[in-house]
Structure 1
């Protein structure tokens, strides 16, 4: 849920069946835009016999499931702080297992230097700031074997963008679409846009990682209708979650109502949305 709980849950979306469907759509949109499940630099590692692959903040495990099918000789572990969206184990490939783990907490001993690859996708909404980001990077380093890889895809500033048929977007760092700016105001800065470049900078400045690569997937015109639908569903879910938890008081409710009205008005006029992301890949130093 969107509220902060005793175990530090900062999730700004939901964990019901509709949310799981959103994650399923999000997965295939991002794979289409990226062109791969694993970055080409990482694929040879996954192809090795008995490679260990972790998917952090796995949600419903759709990425982990597809990776387990594609790399049948690998062992894939799907990790999330909540198991509410996990499928039943019998449905999944035999080389995929699920476990609960909050990446902001101490790494379990069994996962210390256990993985050849750690995958992360879209966790910034659950982080409070650069300090949390640094904790994640430190824990990822602990989980990786020397020479292992992290692949991290997340929002890239400014994230949400309105787009037209000429594929021109608002490239201003600080300017969100009006409906998202209104949501941001309602939750009092709940969307930390300063994090969007932090992962790249922290990995680049870390003594633990090298061979850093970064890419920003481009816009695919044929995908824009589906991407717009996915983003509209995502914002509606954020609004619903916020009304139930974060949004306290009449002023916040008013702002959330205004955000929803602005979104629906934009969509009714045939407006399109895209989500700017980045993929960062880095290799843990092996001392060689």
Structure 2
């Protein structure tokens, strides 16, 4: 599977995404809102009179940032991403809300160092290769003032599961096969999720206090939203799958091999199954850490 992983680059992938990806990010934000029922964890008090500076890193189209701004309009808001292609038009934004291009893997500009009271990041897992999350942690904490809060929302793809409407647990399912293929591709891309399971201890080692470490199972009533969201992700990576057949390890629900054509067919068949109630989902994780110094 190493040959598959070598053809995927998270940064180039996100830079190439279009308005359809932005629409999917709005859906993903809605799923998070429904599941969590908050944008900023209630432990983090934003109701005080002192204005705070809030950063959303890898902000995409700014859905999270704009909703937080609407709820707490007295603070200062900054969204950062490696591309501006999803940003809302600045002329239409509130005066206290700004979007800027900044690559999380680049140096922190001097004016951004320890400048923020709250830093938020969500669904950055595709940028973490071979469990090397320390650079990301260092950059996020470099933005935070001492005593500030980091809220990290992540989807745990190690728990990704396909669910079908069938009385037989052995029923063949394109949705289940697609999930098995996705997990195999993640392994080939060097994208295990050990780093996520170890993130609280990683943050503690970086001089943070863990305030929240919550795990949310996917709500069944969100089955269609989950299916639409993740099938859209799969559609977006079809062109990243090699045209040639790539052998897959022998495992339950896995085909013998995958190619661009067969992967596209699998996604299409899974989409048909989703109209009959099949879906795939995964756990969502929220970690809130306080920077001690």
* Matching of residue 141 in structure 1 with residue 150 in structure 2: no
1:19: which partner in 2?
21
Matches of 1:229 and 1:207, distance apart in 2:
37
* Matching of residue 233 in structure 1 with residue 237 in structure 2: no
Cα distance, 1:163 vs structure 2: 3.5
Cα distance, 1:61 vs structure 2: 0.8
> The residue matched to 1:193 in structure 2 has which SS?
coil
> The residue matched to 2:103 in structure 1 has which SS?
coil
Cα distance, 1:123 vs structure 2: 0.5
Alignment of 1:168-187 (within 5 A): 177-185=176-184
1:130: which partner in 2?
131
Cα distance, 1:190 vs structure 2: 2.6
2:241: which partner in 1?
247
2:40 maps to which of 30, 38, 41: 38
Stretch of structure 1 that moved more, 270-279 or 138-147: 270-279
Matches of 2:109 and 2:179, distance apart in 1:
37
Change (3 A) 1:187 1:117: closer
TM-score by length of 2: 0.81
Matches of 1:82 and 1:267, distance apart in 2:
32
Q: Is the 8 A contact 1:236 1:260 kept in 2?
A: yes
Larger radius of gyration: 2
Change (3 A) 1:187 1:228: closer
Structure 1 unaligned spans of 5+: 170-175
1:154: which partner in 2?
154
Q: Is the 8 A contact 2:8 2:189 kept in 1?
A: no
Deviation by residue 1:140-191 (Cα, 9 ceiling, x = unmatched):
111100000000011225242224679xx9xxxxxx9421332454677237
Stretch of structure 1 that moved more, 272-281 or 183-192: 183-192
Matches of 2:276 and 2:221, distance apart in 1:
19
1:270 maps to which of 264, 273, 277: 277
Cα distance, 1:220 vs structure 2: 2.8
Structure 2 unaligned spans of 5+: 1-6, 170-174, 246-258
Matches of 1:78 and 1:129, distance apart in 2:
27
2:222: which partner in 1?
223
Matches of 1:75 and 1:136, distance apart in 2:
23
2:196: which partner in 1?
196
1:260: which partner in 2?
267
| Coordinate RMSD, CA, aligned | 2.7
Matches of 1:81 and 1:193, distance apart in 2:
23
> The residue matched to 1:222 in structure 2 has which SS?
helix
Matches of 1:46 and 1:117, distance apart in 2:
13
